[in-house]
Structure 1
């Protein structure tokens, strides 16, 4: 009966080193995937511990007789929320009529403990149906048959590049943090990262932004802010 020769000790050591190297690389890949997944979730899932525009547009507007999903926010250039855009009818808010509910007729409550956001409006289902059919209804409701090209919406700002002092893009708007009275106080921005998704985030005062319509769409400028300022802001926010 023949027996195979035992491999030299040197070969065994090299095999062990190779296994350890592969295990280390696998651990690094697992850590990278975990960190990337967390970063992607942070980029996609709204932060409900703060009253943000993204969190607001992932909830429903409740009113007498029903509720409708909030699609967007119409805003002024100084950050005031002027109207809440909802989807009435359709299937789960898809293919429904867009109706703007005047922000004056709506109230927002935000529970800091559990992040719950409740948006209510003083309108009825009959008024909603009437305006969806093109009839005259409450002054607080307006059917949006076609969005104006020059009207400013939150969706115009979400993901928009911010152009700094030298005109170059220095950050991307991830979200807007709102005050209790419905005004944008801060722009939550992200510095450069993988497809602008995995960079660090920080906050800059909305008042430092200048919103300008160039004829084709909205541009966002922060002419007093540089790339270095954004790096410092995001680093400070990350430290907090």
Structure 2
């Protein structure tokens, strides 16, 4: 396998880009000795110094993806509390981007805020996973049946590389890569409906379905391989406009190893 954000201090100095201050270009023949302020990289009132903030957001995004990977891999234990400073040391950054990333995960339901302590990884149950599968089916099954009737075979063939990517990740047992390629495949299928809001909602539900269950054993490579094989089978059914098989595969797929 959103959102108030803290506005604390910027990321640590090692992450500051060398281009923050800008650079003046080479002097052209006949040019005046004095370089204009903007060419020297000095910011004017109409050009606020934004690069450092953008760089901090970039670090936060990287930490967010790293934390999502740790969740899928089971490196962050359900029920355990993690502090932003400790996780910051683990990733080699300050507590600020970690705290911001964790707050985003709290909005998504992956963690809970524990005042004065940090963030507790949410404990999920089989009932919650079943509910997610039901909602996903209610949304995606009708859409895929409609697409099966209207999308030409060539469009489905173009998605084969995405299905093959899930199979490659599954073959080596890479759960984090499988989670990402699995979502990419489903996003590409649903994108053919031309409804971006649908894609966003479905992807959020999909991501939540990939978080490990409390006390559940680690997903086996064989489970991932079987789940990935359903992607290719689904493409074949969509290409053949076999509506009963499409409906059956989509419903069963949501209850698989990684949905």
Structure showing greater radius of gyration is: 1
TM-score, normalisation: structure 1? 0.25
Higher helix share: 2
> Greater share of strand residues, 1 or 2?
1
TM-score with structure 2 length normalisation? 0.24
